[in-house]
Amino acid sequence: MDLAAQRIVVTGGDGFLGRHLQRALLGAGAQKENLLIPLIDDYDLTGEGDVVRMYDQMAPDVVIHLAAHVGGIGANRENPGRFFYANMAMGLHLIEHARRRNVKKFVQIGTICAYPKFTPIPFREEDLWAGYPEETNAPYGIAKKALLVMLHAYRAQYGLDGIYLLPVNLYGPGDNFDPAASHVVPALVRKFSHAVDTGDDEVEVWGTGTASREFLYVEDAARGIALATQNYDAPDPVNLGAGFEITIKGLAAKIAQLTGFTGRIKWDTSKPDGQPRRCLDTRRARELFGFVAETPFEQGLKRTIEWWRAQRH
């Protein structure tokens, strides 16, 4: 697909991943005047009326749906109903009206939370339906996974070109550092940076530290989405990842070192670990549209920490 010729709507385009995706799309040939961002203050995409108005006003050829109600383990535990409804409603209305208007391509960003709790390592796309997701984020994960089924159905019945991408945990400059809603990397960067600033000699971290995660630098993720938008057209879901895993204990130690924290890490084992392990098989993305993550993890963490330290005051 020649992006220069397309009007492209990016929902969530003013968010963490969205801002990086805008730059990636422009670098791939999209025209700035044809890159359209529906802001949350102007459009409530959980409501069908606002979705219709957005399509009327923006008339996209391509829709990349990033917008989501999302957060870490705590936010998922506190808002299971909201997370299910909001993510299901947004995708439902956006996909339905995309097919009514003969949109050329619909790109749905899924979630690793959709994988079963005990998925074998590395996560292969074929294992997506092999069990129930981890309980704390199952409502969010299942709502997102239902949209994969919807895209399959709409491709079969209406010929809608819909693709589905599964980025692993993202991190990088511009991430959400709100302690009530942040994911693990920004949460730990904030905690350890604060301890260094205040001279605290102890930082408390949720869980046992034994769970593992894989992390993808946000600029790499944005490049992967742009590549798939240009070059991928098939119903099969595709993982976007870096192909490695690190325990939360190892992650905490690395962030402590990079922030200069030398005190004690206290593990609150009364809090949940979430999914036991996460590490993706990334071969499909490499083979189908040439995506390979490029940013070394420690380099990405250093950039994230530097960004937060420049912004936090």
Q: Which residues pair with 164 in a beta bridge?
A: 108
- Report the b/e string of 195-216 with b at 16+ CB within 10 A: bbeeeeeebebbbebebbbbbb
Q: Which residues pair with 107 in a beta bridge?
A: 64, 163
**Rounded CA gap, 284 and 223, in Å?**
16
Question: How many CB atoms within 10 Å of residue 287?
Answer: 10
Query: How far from 176 is each of 31, 181, 304, CA to CA, in Å?
Result: 28, 7, 11
As a three-state string, the secondary structure of 74-138 is HHHHHCHHHHHHHHHHHHHHHHHHHHHCCCCEEEEECCHHHCECCCCCCECHHHCCCCCECHHHH
Query: Of the listed 140, 154, 164, 217, which one is catalytic?
Result: 140
**Rounded CA gap, 224 and 84, in Å?**
26
What are the phi and psi torsion angles at 124 (to 5°)?
-100, 145
**Catalytic site includes residue 164:** no
Q: Cα 299 vs. chain centroid, distance in angstroms?
A: 20
**Rounded CA gap, 32 and 126, in Å?**
37
Cα dihedral 156, 157, 158, 159, rounded to 10, equals 20
Positions annotated as catalytic residues are: 140
